[in-house]
Amino acid sequence: MAQARWVAGSSGVLLGARWDRGRIAAFQTERFRALIRHAYERVPYYRRSFERAGLRVDDVRSLADLARIPLTSRSDLQSLPARHVVAAGFDPRKLLVHLTSGSSGLPLTVRRAWFEERLLQAYRLRVLLRLGMRLTDRRVAVVFVPSEEPARRRKAGLLRYEEIDCFLPPASVLARLRELRPAVLRGYPATLADLAVHLTNADRKQIRPRLVVTDSAMLTVDMRRRIRDGFGARVIDFYDSHEFNMIAWECKAGASYHVSDTSVLVEVLRDGRAAEPGEQGELVATALHSFAMPFIRYRLGDWVTRGPSCCACGAANSTLGAVHGRTFDRFELPGGRTIDPYRLATDLVRFAPWLRQFQIVQERIDRIRVRLAAMGDCAPPVRWAAELQQLFSASLGEGISVETELVDRIPTEPSGKFRPYYSLVSDAAHDRGSRC
C-alpha cells in the first residue's frame, strides 16, 4: 500500500518540465510532507532522528519548516544495517544497489526501487532532450565499468547507449569511439580532457559529437577548454551523485546551474543559515522521489555557490552559481604516465568492505600513502596491507611504493573540508606555477 501511494504521487511529475515557480514550490511541498511522514513511520533511522530533535511530523507543514529537521551525513548512514535505513515494505534484497566510489572518503551503499531508478533516469533524459539530444542519437559514456559487471548497452532502436571503461588505455577508448561515432559523449571531466589531448586529426573526422556532457567531478576551466577544442563540441556540465542522480545541470547560456527542483530539494548552508545568492556554502539536499531509502537534508560534502532564485535565461528553476570542491588531480607517475586517483579509490572501496574512511596521498612521484580507518565493529583481515599493496601495484605499475597506515580517524583540513585523495606533487607544481 505504501509503495502504491508513492508511485501514484510520483507519476506524471515529468510533465512539470515547464512549470512556473509557484507550481514547482507547491509540488515540492506536497512531496516533502509525504516524504517526512513516510520516513517517520517506516524508517527507523529517521524516526530516532526526529524524536531526538523533539520534532513531530504534524509540525512539518511547509518548506519553511525544513530547517527544523536534523541534518544527516554520509557517516550517519554508512555503518547502519539495511533494516535501519530502508523503509518498511521494501525488501532490501530486491532493491537496485549503487555503491558510491567514496569521493568524500566515506563509501556508502545506496538502494532504490526499480520505479525510482527509472524515474530518475527519465529526469536525466528529459534534460538531455532539452539540451538538443535526439531520440535517435547514439550516446556513449566513458565511465568506470566494474570488472564483475558488463558494460551497459542498448544497440538498436531509440535512445541507443553504450559504455566504455574509462580505465582502458586512451588509444583503446579512441578506437572504440571511432567505431561508435557518438552524437552525445559523456564522461568524467579529467578522463575526457585526457582523451582530448590524444585525439588526432584522423580521429576528429570520425569522432564528432554534437554535445559533450561531463559529470561526477568538477569541470575546471582548463578541462573545459581542452574538451571543447579537442572534440569541437559544446560542453555541458552535469552536477550529480549516486544518492540523487541529477542535482543540477549547466544552463546553455552558461550563466548558472539549473537545479532539478522536481526531483531534489536543494539548500545551501553557511554557518548554519541559508546562504544568500552569491555566497558559498555547503550543499544539503532532499531526494523527493527516494522512498525506499530516503535522503532527507543530506550533507553531500560539496561546497557550492548559491545562485539567484531564477536563472537569467528565464527558466523557473532555482540555481547554483557554481560547484566547488570536487576537483581531483591525476597523479603524475614516473616516465610521464598519469593515473586518475578515482581508479585507486574504486579499487579500494571494493577491496575493503570493512572500510569506514580512507585517504590516498601521492607524497612523491614514486610513493603513494594510503590511510584507512575501519568500521568500529569490523576488523581488517590479517594480510590486508600486503594484499592492498599488490592491488595498487597492479594499477600503478613498477617503481611506485605503496605505504599503508591504519588509523582511528582521518582529520579534515583547517577549512573543514576533507580531501579523500590528492597529490603533493601536483600541489607543488601548482604552487610553483602560481609564483611564476
pLDDT confidence tier of residue 430, bands split at 50, 70 and 90 = very low
Select the highest-mean-pLDDT range: 8-17, 65-74, 375-384, 392-401.
65-74
Which of residues 427 and 383 earns the better pLDDT score?
383
Q: What is the pLDDT of residue 147?
A: 67
Q: 10 Å Cβ neighbour count for 3?
A: 14
Supply 415's cell numbers.
Answer: 577549512
Supply 330's cell numbers.
Answer: 591525476
In this predicted structure, the answer to whether residue 367 has a pLDDT above a threshold of 90 is: yes
Q: Which ranges in the chain are annotated with CATH 3.30.300.30?
A: 331-435
Sequence-distant (6+) residues with CB within 8 A of 30 are 9
Q: What is the pLDDT of residue 110?
A: 96
Of the options 3.90.1150.10, 3.30.70.1150, 3.40.50.980, 3.40.640.10, the CATH number for the domain spanning 131-240:
3.40.50.980
Residue with cell 530502508: 86
In this predicted structure, the answer to whether residue 54 has a pLDDT above a threshold of 60 is: yes
**Topology at the third CATH level for domain 331-435:** GMP Synthetase; Chain A, domain 3 (3.30.300)
Q: 10 Å Cβ neighbour count for 97?
A: 13
Over residues 107-125, the mean pLDDT reads 94
Residues 169-184 pLDDT 10s:
889 999 999 999 999 9
Give, in order, the Cα–Cα distances in Å from 155 to each of 13, 176, 184.
28, 14, 14
Q: What is the pLDDT of residue 75?
A: 86
In this predicted structure, the answer to whether residue 236 has a pLDDT above a threshold of 80 is: yes
**Topology at the third CATH level for domain 2-119+242-324:** Rossmann fold (3.40.50)
In this predicted structure, the answer to whether residue 100 has a pLDDT above a threshold of 90 is: no
Q: Which ranges in the chain are annotated with CATH 3.40.50.980?
A: 131-240
Q: What is the pLDDT of residue 427?
A: 56
Residues 151-168 pLDDT 10s:
778 887 889 999 999 888
Q: What is the pLDDT of residue 22?
A: 92
Share of the chain above pLDDT 70, in %: 88
Burial (CB count within 10 angstroms: exposed 0-12, middle 13-18, buried 19+), residue 390: exposed
Alpha-carbon distance 436 to 423, whole Å? 20
Supply 205's cell numbers.
Answer: 573526422
Q: Which ranges in the chain are annotated with CATH 3.40.50.12780?
A: 2-119+242-324
Residues 261-296 pLDDT 10s:
999 999 999 988 999 999 989 999 999 999 999 999
